[in-house]
Amino acid sequence: MRILTRYVLFELIKVFLIALTGMTLFMVLVGVVREAYSQGLGLKQILLLIPYILPDSLRFAVPGTILFATCSVYGRMASTNEVVAVKAQGISPWAILWPTYVFAFLISLVAVWLNDVASGWGREGAKRIVIESVEEIVYSRLAQQRSYSSRTFSINVKAVEGRKLIEPTFTFAASEDSPTVRINCNWAELKSDLIANTLTLVCHNGTIDAGELRGVFPDTLERIIPLDEASKRGGRASPTDIPLNRIAQEVQIQQERNEAFSEQMALNAADEMIAGDFTALRGPQWADDQGHLTNEQSRLFRLWMEPARRWANGFSCLFFVLIGAPMAIRMRNSDFLTSFFACFCPILIIYYPLLIFGVDQAKRGSLPGSSVWMGNVMLALFGAWLMRRVIRY
């Protein structure tokens, strides 16, 4: 029995590690190219990003790789009648299956950890690299495309000469306490301060428009912007970017924010009703407040769902194997690609639609966060049915 266990595990781990290496390198390459294209990164920033992209690449590569290794090993064993030989000796097929299930369970725990590392440390590190490189990114994008925009401001230039921006136009989006601001000048330059975490725009000889007001500055005008606002990766962290050990705290903060905003809306409504201003309750400000509250409530639902989603994604490794191993044995095909795609079909048809449905409904609050496990449960039931047939026949 120990010989069978060692044999199966050795073959499985060998194929798994080889396939994982190739798949991870491919995923890292795709992730780096995507990030470099969307952010306009240089070679230095790309090299610094690789360690932070690696966990994200691994968490996508591991489930598919463990399924591929399982189909390859058990498909070959079945095609060479090794499974038949085991049965002929009076040994249950369970003896060659349980080591793989245990290995898949341990890999699932690692995958959960990778999901958490990628969501927290990985994305936070990648965000920090991009934010700290804002000055180089902006200059590179302006030199190539003559424009750059983030969520709070945009820049358009006629040309870039070294560190000089020739005839730039800076547009700052309106906020609650200020209108849209537009600055036009003869030339300008950017200076980042990583210690103060700011980006300074130094404009020379131009005009500034703020709403209906217009001013002229013949010399120099400086405007300081926080680096996270200047970067496309800035802003409040998404629930998918928060580590598991911080989600409970974020849930509490979000609940308090929602309650405070709901109370403020109720007070505003009461004031308007007392004043007899019923049209305000149907005005654009009330609609904006309702939209904001809906978005904040949606973020709370996503925070509730996120732990279950990460555990479900991590344990997809185990549930993929629950289908892959018995199906590969029943197919008895030495062509590992044929076995792999045959095993992947029920995953594609059952698992991913149920996962997408569960995530979508959990985000809306229509179903609890645990609904993201529906796909895993269906795979487990199908795998149990396949396993029964393998053992009986």
Per-residue pLDDT tens digits for 127-176: 777 777 777 888 888 888 888 888 788 899 999 988 899 999 999 887 76
Q: Does residue 21 sit within a domain? A: yes
89: three-class secondary structure by DSSP: coil
Encode pLDDT of 46-81 as tens digits: 788 888 888 888 988 999 999 999 999 998 888 888
**Are the CB atoms for 317 and 378 separated by under 8 Å?**
no
Q: Does residue 75 sit within a domain? A: yes
Rounded distance between C-alpha atoms, residue 384 and residue 50, angstroms: 40
Residue 232: pLDDT above 90? Answer: no
Per-residue model confidence (pLDDT) at position 16:
93
Per-residue model confidence (pLDDT) at position 176:
67
Query: In the numeric block, which tokens belong to residue 149?
Result: 């925009």
Q: Could you tell me if 87 and 173 lie in one domain?
A: no
Q: Could you tell me if 36 and 105 lie in one domain?
A: yes
Q: Could you tell me if 82 and 54 lie in one domain?
A: yes
Residue 334: pLDDT above 60? Answer: yes
Per-residue model confidence (pLDDT) at position 105:
96
Mean pLDDT of the chain: 85
Q: Does residue 77 sit within a domain? A: yes
Q: Could you tell me if 126 and 157 lie in one domain?
A: no
Q: Could you tell me if 105 and 176 lie in one domain?
A: no
Cα–Cα distance list, 276 to 185, 262, 265, 284, 289 (Å): 48, 21, 16, 17, 20
Residues 6+ apart with CB under 8 A from 335: 75
Residue 264: pLDDT above 80? Answer: yes
Q: Could you tell me if 104 and 208 lie in one domain?
A: no
Range of the domain at 158: 151-230
Per-residue model confidence (pLDDT) at position 309:
92
- Which secondary-structure segment (H or E) carries 217? strand 213-226
**Are the CB atoms for 372 and 316 separated by under 8 Å?**
no
Q: Does residue 289 sit within a domain? A: no
Pairing mode, if any, of strands 153-156 and 169-172? antiparallel
Per-residue model confidence (pLDDT) at position 18:
92
Residue 231: pLDDT above 80? Answer: no
Residue 234: pLDDT above 60? Answer: no
Q: Does residue 71 sit within a domain? A: yes
Q: Could you tell me if 123 and 7 lie in one domain?
A: yes
Provide the number of structural domains found in the chain. 2
Q: Does residue 257 sit within a domain? A: no
Per-residue model confidence (pLDDT) at position 148:
87
Query: In the numeric block, which tokens belong to residue 133?
Result: 């490189």
Q: Quick one: which of 125, 151, 150, 128 has its CA closest to 138?
A: 150
Q: Could you tell me if 127 and 157 lie in one domain?
A: no
Q: Does residue 10 sit within a domain? A: yes
Q: Is 115 exposed, middle or buried (0-12, 13-18, 19+ CB in 10 A)?
A: buried
Encode pLDDT of 342-370 as tens digits: 888 888 888 999 999 999 999 888 899 89
Choosing from 230, 247, 271, the residue where a domain stops is 230
168: three-class secondary structure by DSSP: coil
Q: Does residue 266 sit within a domain? A: no
C-alpha dihedral (299, 300, 303, 304), degrees to nearest 10: -140
Choosing from 230, 257, 283, the residue where a domain stops is 230
Per-residue model confidence (pLDDT) at position 281:
62
Residue 183: pLDDT above 60? Answer: yes
Per-residue model confidence (pLDDT) at position 378:
93
Query: In the numeric block, which tokens belong to residue 272?
Result: 């308007």
Which residue intervals of the chain are DSSP H helices?
2-39, 43-79, 82-88, 94-117, 123-132, 134-145, 227-230, 244-274, 284-314, 316-331, 336-346, 352-364, 374-392
Rounded distance between C-alpha atoms, residue 213 and residue 209, angstroms: 6
Q: Could you tell me if 110 and 202 lie in one domain?
A: no
Q: Quick one: which of 34, 65, 21, 29 has its CA closest to 50?
A: 29
The more confident residue out of 131 and 235 is 131
Q: For residue 367, give the DSSP letter.
A: S
The more confident residue out of 179 and 381 is 381
Least confident range of 137-146, 171-180, 202-211, 302-311 = 171-180
Q: Could you tell me if 174 and 220 lie in one domain?
A: yes
Show the CA angle centred on residue 351, arms to residues 348 and 355, nearest 5°: 120
How many C-beta atoms surround the C-beta of residue 172 within 10 A?
19
Q: Could you tell me if 161 and 122 lie in one domain?
A: no
**Cα R_g (the chain), whole angstroms:** 28
Q: Could you tell me if 79 and 198 lie in one domain?
A: no
Choosing from 193, 215, 230, the residue where a domain stops is 230
Per-residue model confidence (pLDDT) at position 78:
87
Residue 209: pLDDT above 80? Answer: yes
